[in-house]
Structure 1
Amino acid sequence: MDRYGKTWHGRHVSDLNATAAALLGLLHDGPATGGELVAAADERFGAFFSVTRSQVYRELPALAKEGLVRLGKQGPRSSQQYVIAAAGKKAFKAWLVSDAGPDHLRSPLILRLVHAGSLTAKQRAALFDSARAVYSEELDAAKAAVKAAGDPVTKAVADFGQAHAKAALKLLDTIAAQ
């Protein structure tokens, strides 16, 4: 990326960050509160793109300030709906067609494995067992998603999820065997 974050390998990269783009994409389905967006992101994106409540609640006011979303109806317990604005639809479309830029991996498992040397053998074994259980569940879910996929893109993403879970399990098995 250049120092302005506008190009990567000479190609245009959108100014919209991935979290903002994810929220704008979800808001295409209709108005939603921050909590509803967190739940929708978890359901739609699964393990590949997680958003935390704090990210969502930090990003929504910024999107509103930029005119990309507007406030919708006030809900119970002071919940606030957000609605995508025309400018938000335009910014989202520009993000979709811009170059993706580098793909950043943020894996809590990899972070733990990098620092696993500071654990006892028993603690490392527990870490591996726990991670193996999580990725086994992800593999099962990905297999089900492949079978349920209704279109080629959804199937390809589910296949990727399956390959990712298999790779993580292989990594854990390789480390455990050493």
Structure 2
Amino acid sequence: MTGGQLMAEAERRLGAYWTMTRSQVYRELPVLAERGYLRLGKPGPRSSQPYSVTASGKRAFGKWLAEPAGKDQVRNPVVLRTAFSSLMPKGEKKDMYEEAVSYHTNSLAEVREQAKNAKKEGDEAGATALDFAVGYHKAVLAWLKTAK
């Protein structure tokens, strides 16, 4: 896959609970190739560069999966702004919460559908990960009901 294809697949599969940027993907691909984890394919149209995973890359990925996961990093921009909301005009704060409710309501519907489709396709691991996103959006919506 090319960097663009990898980014699209990662967004489809992981985007409900993990964020990444195109610059991260394009920055890491040459590093992974240099370490022998990826193999460069034949360049395609518009200088697109496909990559494939090597046996060494598969072993490194397996090793990474076995490592301790580490601490979560919670980054919610509405919660961050809420910490400073005493400096916001009331109308802006209300608008921020309304936008957040709309966003999380729509996102909840999307991830529920994704989880349902993953289960239909037999992707239990993917469905279980998406259950986290369902719970996250539910939790944020519950918090937004009490936020002042």
Please tell me the TM-score bracket, short chain as reference. 0.7 to 0.9
Cα distance change, pair 143–47 in 1 and its aligned pair in 2 (3 A): closer
Q: Deviations over 1:26-78 (max 9, x none)?
A: xxxxxx11111111111001221111011111111111221111211212111
Q: 1:170 aligns with which of 132, 142, 147?
A: 142
SS at match of 1:74: coil
TM-score, normalised relative to structure 2: 0.87
Q: 1:114 aligns with which of 72, 83, 87?
A: 83
Flag structure 2 segments of 5+ consecutive residues without an equivalent. Answer: none
For residues 154 and 38 of structure 1, what CA distance do their matches in structure 2 show? 17
Q: Which structure carries more strand by proportion?
A: 1
SS at match of 2:42: strand
Flag structure 1 segments of 5+ consecutive residues without an equivalent. Answer: 1-31
For residues 85 and 4 of structure 2, what CA distance do their matches in structure 1 show? 34
TM-score, normalised relative to structure 1: 0.73
Q: Which structure carries more helix by proportion?
A: 2
- 1:34–1:57: 8 Å Cα contact kept in structure 2? yes
Q: 1:95 aligns with which of 51, 64, 75?
A: 64
Percent identity between matched residues is 41
Amino acid at match of 2:113: A
For residues 93 and 5 of structure 2, what CA distance do their matches in structure 1 show? 36
Check if 1:58 corresponds to 2:30: no
How many aligned positions are there?
A: 145
Q: CA deviation at 1:151?
A: 4.6
- 2:74 alignment partner in structure 1: 105
Check if 1:37 corresponds to 2:6: yes
Amino acid at match of 1:170: A
RMSD, matched Cα? 1.8
